[in-house]
Amino acid sequence: MKTTILLFFAMMLGSMCFAQSLPAVIEDFKPTPVNQPGREYPQVNSEGRVRTQISAPDAKYVQLDIGGKKYDLVKDEKGVWTGESAPQDIGFHYYQLNIDGASVPDPGSLFFFGACRWGSGIEVPSDDQDIFAKKDVPHGHVDEIFFPSKSTNSSPRAFVYTPPGYDKETSKRYPVLYLQHGYCENETSWPVQGRANFIMDNLIAEGKAKPFIIVMTYGMTNEIKFGGLRDFDIKPFQTVLVDELIPYVDANFRTLADQSNRAMAGLSMGGFETKLVTLNKPEVFSYYGLFSGGVYNPEEVKEHSKLKLIFLSCGSKERPDGVKNSVEALKGAGLNAVSYISEGTAHEFHTWRRSLHQLAQLLFK
């Protein structure tokens, strides 16, 4: 009897383990919006599994490297390897292939800058992907600019989103959001995988956001080593941003060039930078946004007389309590503070696209 029960439990355990290690894969894979032109792979299914395929007839092994795990692909008789990952969170993920020990981009996908490199990215569909879709609405422009920077003796690149109609209405002036990427990303991250321009085009078309300019430049984040965040010196970037980029933008775009029409926000390390810059320079911005990028306590901003809004957000799979508690404390101190928790997402771009979508509806009103 005892043996029978033990055997029964062993069988249960065995079948559970089997079920966990070899779950049935739902065969509804489709090519994604980030595939290279004409490429059938990568594909994603309704569970969020990523499947890829590559011809490598002489390879010993090929793996899909995504979300910190490597998944073995299987070779067919023609030397074509195919395989898929476990389900991934909705949203955007960087990935690569491992071919006999070589980490390389998947030639089937478009390439994005993240993880400190240009490489493959994949879009796992979400119910609310409509917020960043390219729709049949008037589109703003994204200008690539190179602005003079004496402090770095260079001409750094920035991207400037101007809303629909900007070029036609040649006398109207607009408020400006300075929007920062995270560690190991760069100035392309928000206008490309962040889809900041399409988020704004859609909100403006729906009448939900006031038209404003967004400026996205490189936050000088990627030279520091992991673990070196505490020693990070904001001064070099702060000088580029406040003393060089803002004057250039105000001189070359039709901005409302005063504090009450200027916002700064950033994701992850870009949020950390936003916090440092806004605390060091309380006279420059009136709206502060940290996306998965820390919090403010009331003591830090009590002297900020022209502060109009603090917006704090993160994914529900991060630490939402920290964000919520901070906003409660800020409100308790009489400040206009808003929290936003992105349901079902972690520390990745879908959290931040949603955060921009929320913040944009609150700015400059």
Stretch that binds a copy of itself, among 98-106, 277-285, 326-334, 338-346 (CB under 8 A): 98-106
Give Dmax over CA atoms of the chain in angstroms.
88
Q: Which residue has the tokens 């605390």?
A: 279
The SS3 assignment for 180 reads: strand
**Angle in degrees, CA 137, 113, 234, rounded to 5:** 100
| 154-213: contacts with a copy of itself (CB under 8 A) | 155, 160, 167-168, 170, 191, 197
CA distance 200 to 107: 30
What are the distances in angstroms from CA 159 to CA 51, 76, 156?
A: 33, 45, 10
Shortest spacing between CB 242 and a copy of itself, in angstroms: 21
**Residue 253 binds a copy of itself (CB under 8 A):** yes
With binding defined as CB under 8 A, does residue 105 bind a copy of itself? yes
Instruction: Please give the residues from 284 up to 303 whose contact with a copy of itself meets the rule CB under 8 A.
Output: none
Q: CB under 8 A: which stretch of 48-56, 238-246, 284-292, 297-305 binds a copy of itself?
A: 48-56
Residue 257 in the binding site for a copy of itself (CB under 8 A): no
Binding track, positions 107-126, relative to a copy of itself; x by CB under 8 A: x--xx----xxxx-------
Alpha carbon distance 205, 189 (integer Å): 23
- Among residues 1, 3, 60, 334, the one that binds a copy of itself under rule CB under 8 A: 60
Single out the residue of 14, 33, 79, 247 in contact with a copy of itself (rule: CB under 8 A). Answer: 79
Q: Identify which of residues 54 and 335 has a Cβ nearer to a copy of itself in the complex.
A: 54
- The residues, ordered by sequence, that sit 6+ positions from 321 with a Cβ below 8 Å of its Cβ are none
Ordered strands of the 74-75 beta sheet: 30-31, 43-44, 50-55, 80-84, 74-75
Complex with a copy of itself: residue 164 or 298, whichever CB lies closer: 164
Which amino acid is it at 150? K
How many binding residues for a copy of itself (CB under 8 A)? 52
Residue 57 engages a copy of itself in binding (rule: CB under 8 A):
yes
Q: Residues 183, 285, 200, 180: what is their CA dihedral angle, to the nearest 10 degrees? A: -10
* Pairwise CA distance, residues 43 & 106, whole Å: 12
Q: Where do contacts with a copy of itself occur on this chain (CB under 8 A)?
A: 36-38, 54-62, 79, 96-97, 99-105, 107, 110-111, 116-119, 134, 136, 139, 141-148, 155, 160, 167-168, 170, 191, 197, 222, 251-254
